[in-house]
Structure 1
């Protein structure tokens, strides 16, 4: 983005009519290149013209009065402004004064500042330096980030301007009012979405069957106690498997899944699918499976479910699968996806049922 100023010079014509003997100085008309021998002539910036030879280079009409010079040529005021000067890409009028160039286009300075310049979605002032742009297209000055809170689930800055406000839960989580519209808060809704995620996994060949699974909605404080890690603030779900054996055979199984309450529906489905894949592994895989393979598989199963939904929230979650830098969850997801892309989902599930780790090259 460059700010510049056009300088336009207007010059008044000088008409001279001198005695015959004055022409002995051999004045040559700059237009026709012939000697001026008599009559009126014009002198313009050290050049001489026959009276009728001071002509606009654009319209070829005689110039009377003021003129403009451009690239050594002379033009009427109107011709210069309307056919030589750059036009503003916003208002399409000639640019005579200060202007701005941005992305290869030129604008009046005022047009640029009012209509084109990036504006901060928080303070509504123009952005000239560094800025942050979120997934949703919101743009804010970089310096706002240190004094703002992001929504736990969509990463928008929580504010009246961007999210129409938000909430802070007693467990410390921040959620914006846009995500809050679909928050899962009831046992009925959570069970409905849980069964939906289970059905969509079945469509992918991941069949869990009719085993009884106890679903619990909990807050973050409760979940961290269950996980036994008070520092794990990004935990959103957890599954447990307890069983009792008699004579070497399992005679009783208990499956429990704990999922954070007040998450938006899209995130609830993502987490439910992840934890359901843990249940599948409890039923089908060796207990000592590689953690990266196990968690990466749960993330991949979740990805398969989320892919079946449409909308910006689900697009945001899909993007996060690929951008997760955690070596176990993000790294495991990428390795599982690579394996499935080169082999098949059936081969992946077969791998999980074995005691093998990722094959070489994955």
Structure 2
């Protein structure tokens, strides 16, 4: 007998024949199992404890009624016999074809045609129905695949069926699994793995430290660590004197330790003026020094205003044996420049000849002009008479930018020039030919030979411009001085090619280095007239590669 649940109070009534609820006496509501609507009056069908409207009891597949009381139930739903769902096709696990309703074998949950269930190795059937399964495949016992030979990861010999150890995916004979460093076993079965190899904790490579001095293992003894390097305490020695440090401070150079004093003696720069070590800044860790351009002459900042050589611009050292030579007008020259200094007019003839020969080689023809070597005071007087500013040579101060060391004369009627009298050069007054439009060239005496020749080349270019019909009477100062700087620059470059590049020995001489300084001074001159003028003239020259072409355009 069935039961029903009251729609009003949800009480479960055990007697299906009751029309009212035993608790609340509500009238029983019957609902169609198909449409879930209430069945009040009229006919109804009861099928398998379910109640339907007559029109709702239809075939689940075609939705048509059953003209006769015959129907089939599948999975709780009614079907015409012709509408029953068909069973799914079964495929053979070997040939993947339909097995149908014929005979079949089921092995490990897989269906087979009887003729398809054969040995995976020999493809023959199992007449006695005895077989073995390996990796899900059937085999005759004699066809089973052989187990692969397992090799010990240490000795590379077969392990066989005896005991084995598996560590990090590697198999070992028990006796072969030992520490890679000391080759001893692990009696407590405790070990560490590093880079795939087994070690005792004390044998780990990352725990082994090598002394940076003797290159031997330090072990677990005392050690000293400096700049990420580790030493035996007895090996931590000064790289300079090889003595221990004790409690003294040390400094590192290229990864090696030094006593502070040893480091100072070996690496701290010395002042090339006072020959003492350049002092530290107040912080005690860094030093500050000045440097003469190009010469790499380092000196203490306190020597910045000491006298300079009027030739190479190096600073006069304090040592009596290195003091500069004082010229008659108070200027100073270093001992290197003094060896090649041109002191009087007669000595200048060689430099004049060099310059005139160079000028002729590039197509500039100059008449013979008098060239006089004079003191700084005489050059200053003539410059002042022409309203030309000039560097105060008497102070021997550092040179900044271009310095006037020569003058091309056109109106001066007489001049005092230098004549050697025995061991010294003295001034002497001579008359200047008034019939020349360019009456002479004045050059400071006592300059080194190449600087003298450079100044002569500069002033000779002024003379050429004044004498040449290609130029107007008055050129812009930037144009004229730029061309004069260009010719003196080309002369120096010519001397470098002819003399300095002839051999490595020549390039190392003081004269070659001085020429390089003079070239650099012209190239890096930042004054508006001489520096910018030179660069403009040089750019024009490099474009046309001809002095004759740029002269009229200038």
What TM-score, normalized by structure 2, do the two folds share? 0.45
Q: Structure 2 CA distance, aligned partners of 1:77 and 1:121?
A: 38
Q: How does 1:209-288 map onto structure 2 within 5 Å?
A: 209=366, 211-228=367-384, 229=387, 232-233=390-391, 234-241=403-410, 253-284=437-468, 285-288=471-474
Q: 1:113 to 1:204 in 2, by over 3 A?
A: same
Contact 2:274/2:318 (CA < 8 Å) preserved in 1?
no
Residue 314 of structure 1: aligned partner: 515
Of 294, 297, 301 in structure 1, the residue corresponding to residue 483 of structure 2 is: 297
**Paired residue for 1:145?**
304
Structure number with greater Rg is 2
Q: What do you get for the CA RMSD once the two structures are aligned? A: 3.8
Q: Whole-Å Cα distance in 2 between the matches of residues 330 and 222 of structure 1?
A: 26
Distance 1:350 1:181 in 2: 40
Aligned length: 286
Helix, strand or coil for the counterpart of 2:373?
strand
The structural deviation recorded for 1:32 is 9.4
Higher relative contact order (CA 8 A, sep 6+): 1
Per-residue deviation at 1:231?
A: 5.2
State the distance in 2 between where 1:92 and 1:178 align: 40
Scaled by the length of structure 1, the TM-score of the pair is 0.67
Change (3 A) 1:235 1:94: same
* Shift of residue 130, structure 1, vs aligned partner: 1.6
Q: Give the C-alpha shift of residue 212 in structure 1.
A: 3.1
Secondary structure at the aligned position of 1:259 is classed as strand
For residue 192 of structure 2, what is the aligned residue in structure 1?
A: none
Partner of 1:156: 314
- Distance in 2 (CA, whole Å) between partners of 1:313 and 1:62 is 56
Gaps of 5+ in 2: 1-183, 189-200, 281-286, 392-402, 412-434, 501-511
CA shift, 1:101, in A, is 3.3
2:269 to 95, 105, 118: 118
Instruction: Go from structure 1 to structure 2 and tell me whether the alpha carbon gap of 1:113 and 1:260 turns closer, same or farther (over 3 Å shift).
Output: same
Alignment gaps of 5+ in structure 1: 1-30, 36-48, 243-250, 357-362
In 2, Cα distance between equivalents of 1:122 and 1:161: 8
Are the aligned partners of 2:466 and 2:473 in contact in 1 as well (CA < 8 Å)?
yes
Q: Would you say the 8 A contact 1:213–1:257 is kept in 2? A: yes
Distance 1:218 1:68, change over 3 A: same
Query: Cα deviations across residues 109-154 of structure 1 (Å, max 9, x unaligned)?
Result: 23311111111123333223221122323211111223x1111221
The answer to whether the Cα contact below 8 Å between 1:152 and 1:175 also exists between their aligned partners in 2 is yes
Residues of 2 paired with 1:232 and 1:218: CA distance? 14
